[in-house]
């Protein structure tokens, strides 16, 4: 009954094209796992080469070359392979005298054939000064497919077939009406598998004998939501009636402004009146900002409109009600909720507002966003007549995202305060220990700081910092014993020489700031580490940093700097001073070290209690703005890790509305000794809002909590 969409393995290296290029990927997060990725560029030293000559040739400084290759002196040897200082495969190369096509192909890890094709060359002839295209970055959204309309096709039959809504197909193809003609080419976006397979289905045709409540059970959609979506006054349905089973993008309650959007394009997209949109969000003129959060529907204090990422447990906690209450009030069949779904809140002594004390550097837009409000709502709730607020001011806010309502936070604060004997640097993007980066923020996509010393020196420093931290963790006690007997390996994605994605985003004042995937994922992994420990789990990290633990980024414009100093949490892998002993990604990467560390950690642990989690942030503009859980599936889709697939799906409810799971062939999950193993794309950095959110420790903590909640409920079901 369900249609399972076979996705082609998408090409994951992408740029967002347009007048405003707002996302730049240094290296796509997933590419470091996938085999087809072009690796980093190398230069093999030729007789007579000097370091300064090589530096000039590749537009690097000698210092950069030295750092990335851990060279103490300028001495290089013939045949030595030098990394070219960037993990980003260049797109073009200017031919130098003496270059040959095959040499260039080898150097940049591409084939001669593709070089010829890309540059319209038939033989070997190239000339000095010629600019060669090295690789083709797709101009088309990844995963987009074309459907050629056949006689008899209708928009509805296509929607049904591809698991989309009619509105989504119309939107993808700029169609105004329902008319489609044979031979017309329509764009169809790949869909994703979320929850259970039946939920793929977007619409359902009522058969005789069906009841609304049975349909709601079958598709894991609350009865109230089914009524809302289909404008039903009561539960009467009739055969052949078409029922919408879950909200489409048009039904969402919130929109975060993306580059090149205008108020009227947004109004059109969601089928709302421009004047309503302006009024709802207190907008007088036509000016909107990228990243601004707009409310698409009015929310009363008696309802909560589910936003992407909201989890039921979190909403319950925010309003101080129980999950069971919410389920009952909204006729939910499970904890699964959807973006745009309206949840009724219990009337009466409900705590629908909370107090918020304005902090240094706060502005209304940020506070509004943090609490899922529009600026207009925030102004109205607080009778504000101007946007000027002062640190210490008390504001009323919606209670969501109240950091620190649970015991864990006090423990958290005490843990990350001074570590005693280890030298500490308090900085806006720290704290750092033993040494700190020179910069206080990531300055551009290319900036990085090389490691001080060899892998072994950094490993020793990292172990010292880690064991001091661990000793403290051992002393804080615990919240539960749910995870006793479980061993969980946390793998912070990237690290070492490989920063993952580095994306540009905007701070609240419209200034550019940059987010480095590996630095932020390390922070989230550490938060997960502590929470898991507090529930009794044994936890091992695959990588360690020599100079930081959890970081506070205050104000969040002090972004984390790309430091290439993380080491494998293993003496064996760190003892030699070779570049390949630093964690690295891409084709020449050493992901198998992470798997080896897991194998060692799992020794003596019951098979079914071994979990492996790798932390990443996606950067895919065609994927939804939501967390993604990936489990192993062979490229041809014919074999998949069913245990991990079930584990992945079980995490979705805790990860919140819009979260989804799918299989992919990922190296770090292959031959991995864990019982349940997944790669978590905690956020999708192709969306301004997600890149924005990562910079706030409150929101990173929220991400960590969701993951741990998911693991806890998985463990509870198994014991």
Name the residues that contact Zn ion, by CB under 5 A. Answer: 29, 493, 500, 616
Closest to Zn ion by CB, 316 vs 617, is 617
Q: In a 10 Å sphere around its CB, with 0-12 CB exposed, 13-18 middle and 19+ buried, how is residue 230 labelled?
A: middle
CA 95 and chain centroid, separation:
38
Residue in the shown chain whose Cβ atom is closest to Zn ion = 29
- Is 298 in contact with 304 (CB distance < 8 Å)? no
DSSP letter string, 261-286: --HHHHHHHTT--HHHHHHHTT--SS
Q: How far is the CB of 271 from Zn ion (least distance, A)?
A: 36
User: Least distance in Å: CB of 706 to Zn ion?
Assistant: 18
Cα angle, residue 362 at apex, residues 690 and 556 outer, rounded to 5°:
45
Query: What token pair was written down for 13?
Result: 């290296």
Smaller CB separation from Zn ion, 195 or 493: 493
Nearer to Zn ion, 326 or 501 (CB): 501
**Six-digit token pair at 83?**
């990394």
Which token pair is 26? Answer: 């240094």
Four-point Cα dihedral 231, 237, 240, 244, nearest 10: 40
The DSSP element (H or E) to which 268 belongs, if any, is helix 263-269
CA distances from 352 to 341, 345, 346, 571 (A): 18, 9, 10, 52
| Distance in Å, CB of 147 to Zn ion, minimum | 31
- Residue number, 500 or 556, with CB nearest to Zn ion: 500
Where does residue 565 rank: exposed (0-12), middle (13-18), buried (19+ CB within 10 A)? buried
Tokens at 143, concatenated: 């995963």
**In whole angstroms, how close is the CB of 439 to Zn ion at the nearest point?**
22
Q: Would you say 29 or 38 has its CB closer to Zn ion?
A: 29
500/627 with CB nearer Zn ion: 500
Q: Which is nearer to Zn ion, 500 or 508 (CB)?
A: 500
Asked if 311 and 297 touch (Cβ cutoff 8 Å), the reply is no
CB of 629 to Zn ion, least distance (A): 14
Rank residues 29 and 589 by Cβ distance to Zn ion and give the closer one: 29
Q: How far is the CB of 621 from Zn ion (least distance, A)?
A: 16
> Least Å distance between CB 499 and Zn ion?
9
User: What pairing do the DSSP bridges indicate for beta strands 610-618 and 487-492?
Assistant: parallel
The Cα 613–Cα 493 span in angstroms is 10
**Do the strands 131-133 and 92-94 form a parallel or antiparallel pair, or are they unpaired?**
antiparallel
Least separation in angstroms between residue 474's CB and Zn ion is: 31
> Which CB sits closer to Zn ion, 500 or 645?
500
Tokens describing residue 276: 């309503």
Phi, then psi, of 184 in degrees rounded to 5: -65, 140
Shorter beta-carbon distance to Zn ion: residue 399 or 589: 589
- In the bound state with Zn ion, the residue whose beta carbon lies nearer, of 15 and 363, is 15
Residue 413 CB, nearest approach to Zn ion (Å): 29
Q: Could you tell me the smallest distance in angstroms from the CB atom of residue 493 to Zn ion? A: 4
* Least Cβ distance, residue 450 to Zn ion (angstroms): 21
- Bridge partners of 81, per DSSP, are 44
Taking the complex as a whole, the smallest distance from the CB of residue 596 to Zn ion amounts, in Å, to: 20
The β-bridge partners of 94 are 131
Residue 657 · residue 305 · CB < 8 Å: no
Residue number, 356 or 448, with CB nearest to Zn ion: 448
Under 8 Å between Cβ of 652 and 194: yes
Q: Phi and psi for 311 in degrees, rounded to 5?
A: -110, 150
Q: Does the N-terminal peptide bond of residue 46 adopt cis geometry, omega within 30 degrees of 0?
A: no
> Are the beta carbons of 289 and 266 closer than 8 angstroms?
no
Numbers of helices and strands, H then E, in the chain: 22, 26
């Amino acid at each position: 009954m369900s249609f399972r969409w076979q996705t082609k393995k998408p090409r994951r290296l992408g740029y967002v094209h347009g007048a405003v290029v707002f996302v730049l990927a240094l290296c796509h997060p997933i590419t470091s796992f996938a085999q087809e990725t072009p690796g980093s560029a190398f230069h093999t030293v030729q007789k007579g080469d000097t370091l300064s000559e090589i530096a000039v040739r590749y537009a690097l400084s000698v210092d950069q070359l030295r750092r990335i290759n851990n060279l103490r002196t300028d001495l290089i040897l013939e045949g030595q392979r030098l990394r070219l200082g960037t993990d980003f495969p260049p797109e073009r190369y200017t031919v130098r005298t003496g270059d040959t096509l095959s040499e260039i192909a080898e150097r940049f890890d591409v084939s001669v054939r593709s070089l010829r094709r890309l540059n319209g060359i038939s033989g070997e002839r190239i000339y000095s000064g010629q600019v060669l295209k090295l690789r083709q970055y797709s101009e088309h959204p990844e995963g987009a497919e074309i459907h050629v309309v056949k006689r008899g096709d209708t928009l509805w039959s296509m929607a049904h077939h591809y698991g989309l809504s009619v509105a989504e197909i119309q939107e993808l193809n700029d169609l105004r009406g329902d008319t489609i003609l044979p031979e017309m080419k329509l764009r169809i976006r790949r869909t994703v598998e979320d929850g259970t397979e039946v939920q793929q289905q977007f619409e359902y045709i009522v058969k005789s004998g069906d009841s609304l409540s049975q349909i709601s059970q079958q598709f894991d959609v609350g009865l109230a939501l089914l009524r809302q979506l289909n404008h039903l006054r009561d539960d009467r349905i009739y055969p052949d009636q078409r029922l919408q089973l879950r909200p489409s993008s048009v039904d969402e309650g919130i929109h975060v402004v993306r580059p090149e959007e205008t108020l009227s394009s947004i109004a059109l997209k969601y089928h709302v009146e421009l004047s309503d949109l302006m009024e709802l969000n207190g907008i007088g003129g036509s000016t909107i900002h990228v990243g601004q959060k707009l409310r698409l529907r009015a929310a009363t204090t008696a309802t909560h409109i589910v936003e992407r990422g909201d989890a039921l447990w979190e909403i319950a906690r925010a309003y101080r009600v129980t999950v069971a209450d919410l389920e009952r009030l909204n006729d939910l069949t499970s904890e699964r909720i959807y973006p745009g779904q309206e949840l009724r809140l219990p009337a009466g002594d409900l705590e629908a507002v909370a107090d918020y004390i304005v902090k240094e550097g706060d502005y209304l837009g940020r506070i509004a966003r943090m609490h899922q409000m529009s600026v207009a709502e925030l102004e109205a709730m607080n009778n504000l007549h101007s946007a000027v607020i002062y640190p210490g001011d008390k504001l009323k806010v919606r209670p969501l995202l109240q950091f620190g309502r649970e015991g864990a936070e006090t423990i958290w604060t005490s843990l990350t305060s001074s570590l005693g004997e280890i030298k500490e640097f308090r900085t806006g993007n720290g704290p750092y220990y033993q040494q700190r980066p020179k910069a206080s923020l990531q300055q551009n996509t290319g900036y990085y700081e090389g490691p001080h010393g060899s892998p072994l020196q950094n490993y020793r420093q990292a172990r010292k910092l880690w064991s001091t931290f661990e000793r403290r963790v051992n002393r804080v006690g615990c919240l539960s014993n749910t995870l006793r007997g479980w061993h969980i390996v946390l793998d912070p994605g990237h690290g070492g020489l490989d920063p993952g994605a580095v994306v540009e985003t905007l701070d609240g004042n419209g200034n550019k700031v940059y987010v480095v995937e590996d630095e932020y994922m390390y922070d989230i992994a550490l938060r997960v580490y502590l929470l898991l420990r507090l529930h009794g789990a044994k936890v091992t990290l695959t990588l360690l940093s020599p100079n930081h633990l959890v970081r506070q980024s205050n104000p969040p414009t002090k972004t984390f700097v790309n430091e290439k100093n993380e080491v494998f949490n293993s003496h064996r892998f760190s003892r030699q001073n070779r570049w390949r002993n630093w964690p690295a990604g891409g084709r020449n990467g050493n992901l198998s070290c992470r798997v080896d560390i897991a194998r060692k950690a799992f020794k003596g642990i019951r098979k079914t209690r071994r979990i492996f989690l790798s932390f990443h942030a996606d950067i895919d503009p065609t994927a939804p703005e939501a967390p993604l859980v990936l489990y192993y599936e062979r490229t041809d889709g014919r074999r998949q890790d069913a245990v991990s697939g079930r584990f992945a799906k079980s995490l979705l409810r805790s990860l919140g509305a819009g979260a989804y799971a799918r299989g992919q062939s990922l190296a770090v999950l292959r031959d991995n000794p864990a019982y349940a193993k997944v790669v978590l794309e905690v956020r999708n950095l192709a969306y301004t809002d997600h890149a924005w959110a990562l910079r706030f420790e409150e929101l990173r903590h929220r991400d960590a909590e969701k993951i741990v909640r998911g693991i806890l409920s998985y463990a509870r079901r198994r014991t």
